[in-house]
């Protein structure tokens, strides 16, 4: 190949090793029998047992899943239809709306968190599930919108035209032709958005209520007090979920590429 030396490969491997080192630490220490992180006390699954008995953590996990699910669903509908509509509209406002709609992933999260906090208090919306879902929907939309937009550009539009020429109504054309063609993009956008929602700390901290907290917020507050083995176990479980979501996302993308050509 072009590389004459082994240097690039060594560099790539070294950087990757450092990338994975902290993650590996968390996983290894989640099986540590000792309560002190500094000491290795043998292999144990105790912390996982403790984890599943912790009611607060279970509730936070359910909240996170519900928030992620609902926001993804809302963002999928709004983002997909929006990208579709925007690609066909000839309006000057098009660019502006697209710009504002994708702002939530362009500006620092702290700003988004603060504006939502202020805005919801202006509207007298109590912080809780509803505010969490609205805020998460706002930053989930850009992922799905961009994915669908990219897909629309590469799509063969003659299929839709054929359906329309054969007498299908616009709604029917959408459900039988357009949506199936867009589905891989929607699905991979959704998974990325879900991963982002499931991981979000900063925005959630601002819009989370005293009764409803998400898993990352819960972990964050516990982490501020120091290292505990229970969090190790929890993090390992979350890691498993992420890897699974990622594998699924890759699968959808591959499917999309295959049907797109």
Partner 1 sequence: MSRPASGAAAGKIGGAGRRSRGVWLTALPLYLFTIVFVAGPLVYMLVLSFQTKAEGWGVEQVFTWNNYLRILDPVYLDTFLQSLKLAVSTTLLVVLIGYPFGYFMAKLSQAWKRRMMMLIMIPFWTSSLIRLYGWMILLQAKGAVYQTVRFLGFDIDPLKVLYTYPAVLIGMVYALLPFMMLSVYSSAEKMDWSLVEAARDLGASPMKAFLSVTLKLTMPGLLSGVILTFVPSMGLFFIADILGGNKIVLVGSLIQDQLTRGADWPFAAALAVVLMIMTTLLIFLYQKVTHSTELEGLF
Where in 230-259 is the site for partner 1 (CB under 8 A)?
Answer: 231-232, 235, 238-239, 242-243, 245-246, 250
The closest of 94, 83, 205, 86 to 144, measured between CA atoms, is: 83
Question: Distance between CA 242 and CA 248 in Å, rounded?
Answer: 10
- Cβ 96 to partner 1, closest distance in Å? 9
CB of 53 to partner 1, least distance (A): 21
CB-based contacts of 231, cutoff 8 Å, min separation 6 = 219, 222, 223
The CA-atom distances, in angstroms, between 60 and each of 64, 115, 179, 193 are 6, 24, 34, 19
15 scored as a contact of partner 1 (CB under 8 A): yes
> C-alpha angle 228/234/236, rounded to 5°?
110
Whether residue 27 contacts residue 236, with contact meaning beta carbons closer than 8 Å, is answered with yes
d(CA 81, CA 260): 19
Which range, of 1-9, 44-52, 54-62, 65-73, touches partner 1 by CB under 8 A?
Answer: 1-9
Which residue from 101, 177, 190, 233 is in contact with partner 1, where contact means CB under 8 A?
101
- Tell me how far, at minimum, the Cβ of 4 lies from partner 1, in Å: 11
Q: Which 157-216 positions form the footprint of partner 1 (CB under 8 A)?
A: 157-158, 161, 170, 192, 195, 198-199, 201-202, 205-206, 216
Q: x/- site string to partner 1, residues 28 to 67, per CB under 8 A?
A: -x-------xx-----------------------------
- State the Cα angle at 96 between 93 and 98, rounded to 5°: 105
| Shortest Å, Cβ 88 to partner 1 | 5
Least spacing, CB of residue 231 vs partner 1, in Å: 7
- Could you say which residues in the range 109-168 bind partner 1, by CB under 8 A? 109-111, 114-119, 122, 134, 137-138, 141, 145-147, 150, 152-158, 161
Q: 152 Cβ partners below 8 Å, 6+ apart?
A: 83, 84, 87, 182
């Amino acid at each position: 190949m072009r590389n004459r030396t082994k240097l690039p490969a060594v560099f790539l491997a070294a950087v990757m090793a450092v990338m994975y080192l902290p993650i590996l630490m968390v996983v290894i220490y989640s099986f540590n029998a000792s309560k002190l992180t500094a000491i290795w006390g043998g292999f144990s699954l105790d912390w996982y047992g403790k984890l599943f008995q912790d009611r607060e953590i279970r509730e936070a996990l359910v909240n996170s899943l519900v928030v992620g699910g609902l926001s993804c669903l809302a963002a999928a509908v709004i983002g997909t239809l929006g990208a579709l509509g925007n690609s066909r509209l000839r309006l000057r406002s098009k660019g502006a709306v697209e710009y504002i709609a994708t702002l939530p992933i362009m500006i620092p999260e702290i700003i988004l968190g603060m504006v939502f906090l202020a805005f919801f208090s202006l509207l007298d919306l109590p912080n809780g599930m509803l505010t969490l879902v609205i805020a998460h929907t706002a930053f989930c939309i850009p992922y799905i919108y961009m994915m669908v937009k990219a897909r629309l550009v590469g799509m063969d539009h003659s299929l839709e035209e054929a359906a329309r020429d054969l007498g299908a109504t616009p709604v029917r054309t959408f459900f039988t032709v357009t949506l199936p063609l867009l589905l891989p993009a929607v699905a991979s956008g959704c998974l990325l958005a879900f991963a982002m929602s499931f991981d979000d700390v900063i925005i959630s901290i601002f819009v989370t209520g005293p009764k409803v907290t998400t898993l990352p917020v819960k972990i964050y507050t516990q982490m501020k007090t120091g290292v505990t083995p229970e969090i190790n176990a929890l993090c390992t479980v979350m890691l498993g979920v992420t890897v699974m979501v990622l594998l699924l996302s890759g699968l959808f993308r591959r499917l999309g590429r295959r049907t797109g050509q």
